[in-house]
Structure 1
Amino acid sequence: MGTDAVRATGSSRGRWIVGLIILALVVLVIVHIIRNREAPHRGEPATVVGASAAQLGDMPVDIDGLLGTVTPVATVTVLPQLSGYLTEVAYHEGEEVKKGQLLAQIDPRQYEISKREAEATLAKDQAALASAKNDLSRYRALHGKHSIAEQTYTDQLYTVQQDEAAVKSDQAAIDQYTLDLEYCRITAPVAGRVGLRLVDPGNYVTASSTTGIVVITTTQATTVEFPVPQNSMPAVLQRFRAGHTLTVSAYDSDNDKKLADGTLYSLGNQMDTSTGTVTLRASFPNRDDSLYPDEFVNIVLHVDTMQHAVLIPTAAVQNGAPGDFVYLVNSNQTVSVHPVKLGPSDGTHTVVLSGLAVGQQVVTDGVDRLADGTHIRLKQARPATSTSAAAASASATKS
């Protein structure tokens, strides 16, 4: 009996040990399976990114970063054309004057007296001419009858010619004094804005004066000269020579506020070898005088507009070893490096010339955390808007 009891007890313990070993193995298998399932999620969490779909739109082709100088159509220093004392200065500093408007008056009395003297001399010489013509008429009749010498008739003929020349000279002198009286009224040769006062009533001015009476600068309209790099000239030349109107926008020195819009109307005829640029000139109506003579302005030259171009947000564009590329969103919620060929950009959107189709999504936010094949989770997708709307928004911001 004792031996059988011992054997039964040993068999029971063995079964318990085997059971515990099997249970431990089952627990280990379950833990291993759970760990293997959760490992990918703990080792490679999905990166949250923003994305946008490539869409069709219009993109303006602009040349910006150009420094221009406001160059008036005319800057005129008004000089006196004769000498005398000023009796009146009729302009006010800084005012707009019209062509022909009185600016200053020179004392005309000296020239009026000289004109009357010339008129008196003319009357005297006209009387002498009339007398000489009467004598010539009589001499001609006598000469026909051979009653006077040939020399007498010839001398009288010359006397008439001399008196006629004297009358013409007197008339020229009168015309000169008449012109001098007009010159006594100094008027504006062009319309524009007058500068600071240079003379006062009572000043004696001369025809040899270099200071002048006043300086007039045309402000409406005005022009702006600006250099364009030689690499950009072929596109400008092609559009300009084809008769297209190229618009030009002028911004302030901080490039924040648009001052005026104009049109390109003239191209320089030679290249500046020191800078590799060609000087262009644009015309601006400048009705509000927003462009000041000799002011420096920032210029944007609008050359063309690309119609129905593939557009993506500029934030999606990356540059690296493959060149220009984007992170393309794949159907399996991963991204891949996708090389693209880029076109013009307005800062907000960029044209993709090749490498991307309309509707494909590219990552725009969170690209710094991505690599080829990264698992992602998208934020709410934002479709790319047309560049025309973006350009209008940018223009409103600058204005």
Structure 2
Amino acid sequence: MNTNKIFPCMPAAGIVPPRALVLRPQRGRATPWILAFVVLAAAAGGWWWWKGRGTDGAAAEGGPSRTASGPSEPGGMGAGGAAGSRGRFAANRVQPVSVMPARLQDIRHTASAIGTISAANTAVVRAQVSGVLQQIHFTEGQQVKAGQTLAQIDPRAFQAALGQAEGQLARDKATLDNARIDLARYKDLLAKDAIARQQVDTQLATVNQLEGTVKADQAAVDSARLQVTYTRVLAPIAGRVGLKQADIGNVVQTSDASGIVSITQTRPIALTFAVPSALLPQITAGLKGQTPMTVEAWSRDGKTRLATGKLATADNAIDIATDTLKLKAMFPNEDDALFPNQSVSVRLQLATENNRLAVPAAAVLRGAQGFYVYVVNADSTVNTRAVQTGAVDGDWMAVDGKIEPGERVVIDGVDRLREGAKVEIIASDPQQRAGANAAPRRGRGASAADPAASGASGPHRRHAASAATQ
């Protein structure tokens, strides 16, 4: 029987058929790919519909239409415009800027440093006699005066010792008085040749011995009385007391390292800092002058001035390791704004330039030709003015150039300015700008009242909003 006639697709024995004749297509495998293609097509169609709807909505509201290449620019530049062309038109827009007027003011020449506050005097109050602490007469953190009673130690044992010393003194004084009477009697008898001179000399020695004993007794009495006074703990200096180191009922010893309390003299208080040795001539002249040099203590971030004091003295040698000179300034510190061991920023005033032309330091820019500023003219255009910079005092810089006091210089928004550019002045504080406190928009589309969606001033509003968020 010929099997090839019955099964024409089967090869004859020993013949290997091509792979295409063996593999049969299976209908079930094509279904997932078809479904995936349909889903992708639906997603692409939905995205195209949504994109066209958003573009039509923005055009209907008067806002700038956006294409794949970016927002359209004034002057008819559409999606086909080049990036360089968009940049030229952006430069022709009205740019939002913040300004401040130039002015005449005193410019101080200062030296900056980091200093440490230290107490003018520090004392650890320790017990001078050992005993039980009975009373505490101060409040922690209180300002006390020199000689003020701070604590009371049990005085009874010391008062008893004082009474014993006084009794010994009284007894020896009576013995001395009796010896002196005998000496006077013996001298009278010696004048009459009634006794021997040796007896008179012996009595004189006895009197001298008793006088020494009385002096020793008097010293013992004074010492005992002093011990009694030591039971009252007094403030050795005026200043601010710290936290107490002993409580009522504790037995305090003269050897206690921490004592009862510590006192730091904070009125006045000292500030120690170092400046470069190159400033030595100016500092020496200032110390010899009639007017003390002013020193200001600022917070570490440089935003808050804590106190103003005077330069008191300079160290007797320059530190060769750092090439600096250590200085000390004194502050009244009546408001207790400065604390011992506090780290502060220091500004030492070296000299003052009176009535100098100054502009905000943020307005001074540096270009290829040197330093310059942008000045806003009466027609709301800007032009550059070359300046020579001077000393900086806080946020202001002394300048020399063709600038008049009162002329407005740009301090913010200079990144897109050029000579002759039109500008609009906005507040320098972002919180004070128009729309800064407006509620955020909801939904995808921009409303007609939104400045960012306004066709007439859309690009300018976008720049102002971006500047407000910086």
TM-score by length of 1: 0.71
Q: Letter of the aligned partner of 1:284 in structure 2?
A: F
Q: Is residue 2:372 matched to residue 1:326? A: yes
Match of 2:190 among 126, 143, 146: 143
**SS of corresponding position for 2:185:** helix
- Give the Å deviation of 1:273: 2.2
- Give the Å deviation of 1:183: 0.1
- Give the Å deviation of 1:357: 5.8
Q: Is residue 2:255 matched to residue 1:208? A: yes
Match of 1:61 among 96, 106, 109: 109
Distance 1:79 1:363, change over 3 A: closer
What are the residue-to-residue correspondences of 1:23-34 with 2, within 5 Å? none
Q: Gaps spanning 5+ residues in structure 2: where?
A: 1-87, 376-380, 426-470
- Give the Å deviation of 1:362: 10
**SS of corresponding position for 2:344:** strand
1:313/1:349 contact within 8 Å kept: yes
2:92/2:422 contact within 8 Å kept: no
The residue aligned with 1:241 is: 288
Match of 1:70 among 113, 117, 126: 117
The residue aligned with 2:207 is: 160
The residue aligned with 1:226 is: 273
**Identity across the alignment (%):** 38
The residue aligned with 2:229 is: 182
Q: Letter of the aligned partner of 2:257 in structure 1?
A: T
Distance 1:380 1:211, change over 3 A: closer
Match of 1:259 among 300, 306, 310: 306
**SS of corresponding position for 2:107:** strand
Q: Give CA-to-partner distance per residue, 1:279-321, whole Å, 9 cap, x none.
A: 2222222222211221111122222210133434434544466
1:326/1:337 contact within 8 Å kept: yes
Distance 1:239 1:321, change over 3 A: farther
The residue aligned with 1:121 is: 168
Q: Is residue 2:181 matched to residue 1:134? A: yes
- Give the Å deviation of 1:123: 1.1
1:115/1:178 contact within 8 Å kept: yes
1:53/1:358 contact within 8 Å kept: no
1:328/1:338 contact within 8 Å kept: no
The residue aligned with 1:292 is: 339
Q: Partners in 2 of 1:47 and 1:235 — Cα distance? A: 51
2:119/2:266 contact within 8 Å kept: yes
Q: Partners in 2 of 1:116 and 1:52 — Cα distance? A: 83
Q: Letter of the aligned partner of 1:60 in structure 2?
A: R
Distance 1:321 1:145, change over 3 A: farther
The residue aligned with 2:420 is: 376
Q: Partners in 1 of 2:239 and 2:101 — Cα distance? A: 54
Q: Partners in 2 of 1:186 and 1:334 — Cα distance? A: 74
Q: Partners in 2 of 1:237 and 1:48 — Cα distance? A: 55
2:106/2:356 contact within 8 Å kept: yes
TM-score by length of 2: 0.61
Q: Letter of the aligned partner of 1:58 in structure 2?
A: D
Q: Partners in 2 of 1:337 and 1:220 — Cα distance? A: 50
Q: Partners in 2 of 1:200 and 1:52 — Cα distance? A: 61
**SS of corresponding position for 1:297:** strand
- Give the Å deviation of 1:133: 0.7
Distance 1:182 1:302, change over 3 A: same
Q: Partners in 2 of 1:139 and 1:123 — Cα distance? A: 25
Q: Partners in 2 of 1:319 and 1:187 — Cα distance? A: 64
- Give the Å deviation of 1:179: 0.7
Q: Is residue 2:147 matched to residue 1:97? A: no
The residue aligned with 2:396 is: 349
The residue aligned with 2:461 is: none
- Give the Å deviation of 1:201: 2.3
- Give the Å deviation of 1:127: 0.9
- Give the Å deviation of 1:278: 1.6
The residue aligned with 2:464 is: none
Q: Partners in 2 of 1:334 and 1:286 — Cα distance? A: 48
1:327/1:362 contact within 8 Å kept: no
Q: Partners in 1 of 2:386 and 2:342 — Cα distance? A: 46
- Give the Å deviation of 1:56: 4.7
Distance 1:303 1:48, change over 3 A: farther
Q: Letter of the aligned partner of 2:157 in structure 1?
A: Q
Q: Partners in 1 of 2:368 and 2:421 — Cα distance? A: 26
The residue aligned with 2:25 is: none
Q: Letter of the aligned partner of 1:376 in structure 2?
A: G
Q: Is residue 2:237 matched to residue 1:193? A: no
**SS of corresponding position for 1:303:** strand
- Give the Å deviation of 1:101: 2.3
2:363/2:374 contact within 8 Å kept: no
What are the residue-to-residue correspondences of 1:330-341 with 2, within 5 Å? 338=386, 340=388
- Give the Å deviation of 1:106: 1.5
Q: Letter of the aligned partner of 1:271 in structure 2?
A: I
1:47/1:375 contact within 8 Å kept: no
2:374/2:410 contact within 8 Å kept: no
**SS of corresponding position for 1:167:** helix
1:121/1:170 contact within 8 Å kept: yes
**SS of corresponding position for 1:162:** helix
Q: Letter of the aligned partner of 2:282 in structure 1?
A: A
Of structures 1 and 2, the one scoring higher in RCO (CA 8 A, sep 6+) is 1
Q: Partners in 2 of 1:146 and 1:287 — Cα distance? A: 82
Q: Letter of the aligned partner of 2:235 in structure 1?
A: A
Q: Gaps spanning 5+ residues in structure 1: where?
A: 1-41, 382-399
Q: Partners in 2 of 1:98 and 1:55 — Cα distance? A: 49
Q: Partners in 1 of 2:110 and 2:299 — Cα distance? A: 18
2:382/2:423 contact within 8 Å kept: no
Deviation larger for 45-54 or 223-232:
45-54
Distance 1:362 1:193, change over 3 A: closer
What is the RMSD of the two structures over their aligned residues, measured on CA atoms?
A: 3.4
Aligned length in residues: 329
Q: Give CA-to-partner distance per residue, 1:177-231, whole Å, 9 cap, x none.
A: 1111100111111222222221122222222222211111222221221222223
Match of 2:322 among 275, 283, 288: 275
